[in-house]
Structure 1
Amino acid sequence: MSNERELMVNNSEILKLKKEVYEANMLLYKYRLAIHTWGNVSGITNDRKYMIIKPSGVSYETLTPDHMVVVDLENNVIDSQYKPSSDTPTHTLLYKANKNIKGIVHTHSPFAVSFAQAGKEIPCLGTTHADNFFGSVPCTRELSDAEINGEYEHNTGLVIIEHFNNNNISFESTTATLVKEHGPFVWSIKNPIDAVNLALTLEEIAKMALYTKILNPDKKEANRTLQNKHHSRKHGPNAYYGQDK
């Protein structure tokens, strides 16, 4: 393990990713998606051997890039004097579940958490949702007592993966989920900062969904053709939204 630590010190990719993950975590605080020491963001190296994540219980006011913790995908700390986020096993399982995920966020943002606590998915009620997430943002089942009392964070990841696999949901198109009675996990196939922006978007669509249901409790999901149109014009091989690169 000491040899691995030595490699980390001068590894340009690790140093760059530490800075990026730090900046992404600070955006959580800036966007009020997390307060106190809540929430966490992680990123993964290009070879998918190492993950960098926020340390456990360190306040945002004192956080620096050097606080970021390097772990392998078996949750072993490779380079840090700090303990990684307690949610680390959930993050590493999601990275292993889908090779395209490059950044993961867990927040305690109030509107998304409200849906999670209610055990409700966030239905796609309009184009703002469809532009960013394909179909409803799902809510997992609750964890059993045995899962909670066992390897809790690991089992949280398993419950997310179970829900996506059992319901044939694409990790690439529906890049968020709610864990029942817990909160949202959001990921990006681009980078950690994009994952934070998606978490901010999730909070906004959760707010819109709640307000919509207050105004019209009988509102059903948006027209499926409209949903597909709005999602496909921004995502996938036939996307045409935005400027040519």
Structure 2
Amino acid sequence: MTVQELKEIVVEANKELPRRHMVLYSWGNVSAIDRDKGIIVIKPVGIPYDDLTTENVSVVDLQGNKVAGEKNPLNPSVDLDIHRALYENFPECNAIVHTHSTYATVMAQLHRDVPCFGTTHADYFAGSVPCVEALSDEEIIHDYEWNTGMAIVKYFQKYGISPADVPAALSINHGPFTWGEDCWDAVHKAVVLEEICKMAVHMLAIEPDWQPIPKVMSDKHFYRKHGANAYFTNDDHGHGMVHNK
């Protein structure tokens, strides 16, 4: 894939967020990495989605520096270092989505994991979507964005969570992050995460002590779509859902 093609995909994936009612104003971003070329393409800071183009989307190297030869004067998203921390530590991750979608952010602000209450959740995530641990005062004051990403990484490492099996996390007091093998996969998961958080908020309002579905059912739904023995593979996982319109 050329750099221009990657730019086109990242631009369209970012524009998909307001189409799916996932963002207001410029509250969110999509990025993608090309590990062979050593670049990350990401939404610039503060630019409205309607104004995003391949000419002004940001292209940086893996250290976050603007790539020589790119003429865009705009700075990359302030969240770039969060994305960089995930890319550096989750090698199966090729695209990342961050939003402040309402229900996922409610769960993040409540410091709540998203339990697997039903098969909709289990189709996409192998167990609870975690709300990761809070940053220390020092981590907030210094290198806040990098430490925000590393809080996700450290949580997954601490609890042995596979980022391929649970491709999402809630950043405490902040909001959701999802990732995937490409932009469409990551955006699709962001939309699904918001929907299951909406269900969870309503369920917990009705019955605060409601329990997740049995693990045997959760595993059945997840692994019939994912992994070496998957057999329900013709489903819409979002791949190319915008690019092919």
- TM-score > 0.5 by shorter chain: yes
Q: Is contact 2:131-2:172 (8 Å) kept?
A: yes
Question: Alignment length, in residue pairs?
Answer: 232
Q: How far apart are residue 63 of structure 1 and its match?
A: 1.4
Paired residue for 1:228?
219
Q: Where is the helix percentage greater, Structure 1 or Structure 2?
A: 1
Q: Is contact 1:13-1:45 (8 Å) kept?
A: no
Q: Which residue identity is paired with 1:67?
A: N
Equivalent position to 2:91, from 92, 99, 113? 99
Q: State the alpha-carbon separation in 1 of the partners of residues 134 and 12 from structure 2.
A: 32
Q: Which residue identity is paired with 1:198?
A: K
Q: State the alpha-carbon separation in 1 of the partners of residues 11 and 18 from structure 2.
A: 11
- 2:188 counterpart of 1:197: yes
Q: How far apart are residue 42 of structure 1 and its match?
A: 0.2
Q: CA RMSD in A?
A: 1.3
SS in 2 for 1:169: coil
Q: Is contact 2:15-2:50 (8 Å) kept?
A: no
Q: How far apart are residue 221 of structure 1 and its match?
A: 1.1
Equivalent position to 1:185, from 177, 183, 187? 177
Paired residue for 2:205?
214
Equivalent position to 1:237, from 222, 228, 232? 228
Q: Is contact 1:23-1:193 (8 Å) kept?
A: no
Q: Which residue identity is paired with 2:171?
A: V
Structure 2: tracts of 5 or more residues without a match: 236-245
- 2:164 counterpart of 1:172: yes
Equivalent position to 1:19, from 8, 22, 29? 8
Structure 1: tracts of 5 or more residues without a match: 1-11
Q: State the alpha-carbon separation in 1 of the partners of residues 159 and 37 from structure 2.
A: 26
Q: State the alpha-carbon separation in 1 of the partners of residues 229 and 185 from structure 2.
A: 21
Q: Is contact 2:109-2:174 (8 Å) kept?
A: yes
Kindly report which structure 2 residues correspond to 1:1-245, keeping only aligned pairs within 5 A, or say none.
13-47=2-36, 49-78=38-67, 79=70, 80-188=72-180, 190-243=181-234
TM-score for both structures, normalised by structure 2:
0.92
Name the CA shift for 1:179/1:243 in 2 (closer, same or farther; >3 Å). closer
Q: How far apart are residue 48 of structure 1 and its match?
A: 5.8
Paired residue for 2:242?
none
Q: State the alpha-carbon separation in 2 of the partners of residues 39 and 243 from structure 1.
A: 30
TM-score for both structures, normalised by structure 1:
0.92
